[in-house]
Amino acid sequence: MAKVAVRNERMSNSASASKLRTKKRSRDMSRTVVAGLVALLIIQMVAALYLSPMFSVTPNSVTIRSSPLCSEAQIRSLIQPDLPRSIVRLPVARWKDAICNIPVVKSTVIKSVFPNRVVVELRDRHPVMVSDLGILGSCVLDSDLVPFRTVEPTDDSLPTLVFQSSEVKPELGVSITDASQINGVKTIMKWLNEHSDISVAALNIQNQHLSFVMKPSNVTVLLGTPRRLDEKLDSLEILIVKRPDLLSSRKYAAVNLFSDEYPALVIRSSSGDKSAVP
């Protein structure tokens, strides 16, 4: 009797285990079916985005916020050949590259607005100075020293940049120098804006060295490379306080700030000779 009972118990346990396995397989199959249905639904939704006219961007659904420097028609001519197209398949990166190749455009933002609208916003370059760039002629530059258009009569009040380099072939829309020089010019312009009593006839970049000419004294401030430029300008400020005639007198030729020591003055004599004094 004991053996029969044991056998019956084993059979009962085996049946229970079999039922549990069957239930587990049923649950797994149900999950698989549900996952398949969800995936199918997602595919159908994506297909709807690709194919439905509701999500199709057309030329009429594109808004362009242009500027006086760049016409709306110019921007549309770069975008409309790709339209109509689904809002999820727009070549936004290619559009940005094409728009930013326009010299007057500094940057652009392209926003997709569901279900089928696109907004294009432009950021213009702002005139900061003018420069004679050889084959390009007289051009207006922005704060990144990018020439973006030719000079107009309204640009007369802008400072002049004298740029000399045998290695650079200037192009519209491309900066004429490297980041170090750009940051150096920005530092000088900021310093000049903070010192409204100092007027500048021209800024100069020659062989990677920076300088500017003060007016009406025509004193050239030699700054050298952009290294420690803030300290050099601080030294110039101290010198101007001690010798205010630097801004008006024509007896000085230059202020040499190349070294890290206190700046030296180059004196112009009545005969035109120059001599350096501490």
- Say if CB 49 and CB 55 are below 8 A apart: yes
Average pLDDT of the segment spanning 182-190 = 95
Structure tokens at 196: 């409204």
CB 204 within 8 A of CB 231: no
Task: Look at the block and give the residue holding tokens 């020439």.
Answer: 147
Instruction: Please tell me the distance from the alpha carbon of residue 70 to that of residue 76, in angstroms, as a whole number.
Output: 11
Report pTM. Answer: 0.75
Domain 129-277, CATH homologous superfamily name and number: Cell division protein FtsQ/DivIB (3.40.50.11690)
Domain boundaries, the chain: 16-51, 54-124, 129-277
For residue 99, give the amino acid letter: I
Residues 95, 81 contacting (CB under 8 angstroms): no
| In the predicted structure, residue 62 carries a pLDDT above the cut 60 | yes
CA–CA separation, 93 and 76 (whole Å): 15
35-49, 70-84, 143-157: segment of lowest average pLDDT:
35-49
**What mean pLDDT do residues 191-219 have?**
91
Pairwise CA distance, residues 156 & 129, whole Å: 10
For residues 185-196, average pLDDT: 93
Taking only the tens place, the pLDDT of each residue in 125-162 is: 999 999 999 999 999 999 999 999 999 999 999 999 99
The percent of the chain in helix, strand and coil, each rounded to the nearest 5, is 40, 30, 30
Q: What is the pLDDT of residue 165?
A: 82
Radius of gyration, alpha carbons of the chain: 36
Question: Alpha-carbon distance 185 to 212, whole Å?
Answer: 10
CATH fold of 54-124 reads: Ubiquitin-like (UB roll) (3.10.20)
pLDDT of residue 9: 57
